[in-house]
């Protein structure tokens, strides 16, 4: 079973390095820009628990304000990706197989994503920098 998982992980690693917006759209079931709000470690399961504040949703549930992601700690070194720091702006992609990818998100790439996916009214570029209080019905989602 481990051998079966390795090719998928290697493909996800290569994919994360240089994927254009159309490939993110095809690969993901949820795709959004976010700021890292916190990082914890589950040592027993070798997972990084990363809390993010959702800034802009390109694909997936609209209206989510936050997400909690569980990322295998080994992904960073095996994929040659940098573990994000608190405050970092990231692109978060989740696929139907349960894979999670976080990559640094530049303003230029964010603009490319907007052009590809189109503006979505739930999260706009002019949103205030400070988080607004969430309406009572708004719930964070967790993967």
DSSP per-residue string spanning 28-60: -SEEEEEEEEEEEEETTTTEEEEEEEEEEEEES
Residue 79 lies in a domain: yes
CA torsion sign for 19, 110, 69, 65 is negative
Residue 135 lies in a domain: no
The domain that contains 28 carries what CATH number? 2.40.50.120
Residue 108 lies in a domain: yes
Give the contacts of 117 (CB within 8 A, at least 6 positions apart). Answer: 21, 25, 58, 59
Which residue range(s) make up the domain with 76?
A: 2-123
Along the 143 residues of the chain, how does pLDDT read in single tens digits?
233 333 444 445 666 667 899 999 999 999 999 999 999 999 999 999 999 999 999 999 888 899 999 999 988 888 888 899 999 999 999 999 888 889 999 999 999 999 999 876 544 433 434 343 333 333 333 33
pLDDT score for 12: 55
H and E: helices and strands count for the chain: 4, 6
Residue 92 lies in a domain: yes
Number of C-beta neighbours around residue 103 at 10 A: 19
Residue 76 lies in a domain: yes
pLDDT score for 143: 34
Number of C-beta neighbours around residue 102 at 10 A: 25
- Give the number of domains in the chain: 1
pLDDT score for 49: 96
Block residue for tokens 């795709």: 31
Residue 23 lies in a domain: yes
CA torsion 69-73-78-81 (nearest 10°) is 50
DSSP letter at 93 equals E
β-strand pairing of 66-72 with 141-142: parallel
pTM: 0.75
């Amino acid at each position: 079973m481990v051998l079966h998982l390795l090719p998928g992980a290697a493909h996800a690693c290569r994919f994360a390095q240089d994927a254009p917006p159309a490939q993110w759209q095809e690969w993901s079931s949820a795709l959004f820009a976010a700021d890292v709000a916190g990082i914890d470690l589950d040592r027993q399961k070798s997972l990084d628990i990363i809390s993010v504040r959702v800034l802009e949703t390109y694909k997936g549930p609209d209206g989510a304000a936050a997400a909690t992601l569980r990322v295998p700690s080994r992904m960073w070194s095996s994929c040659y990706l940098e573990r994000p720091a608190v405050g970092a702006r990231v692109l978060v992609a989740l696929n139907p197989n349960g894979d999670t990818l976080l990559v640094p998100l530049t303003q230029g790439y964010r603009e490319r994503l907007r052009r590809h996916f189109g503006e979505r009214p739930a999260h706009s570029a002019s949103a205030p920098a400070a988080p607004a209080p969430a309406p009572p019905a708004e719930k964070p989602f967790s993967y």
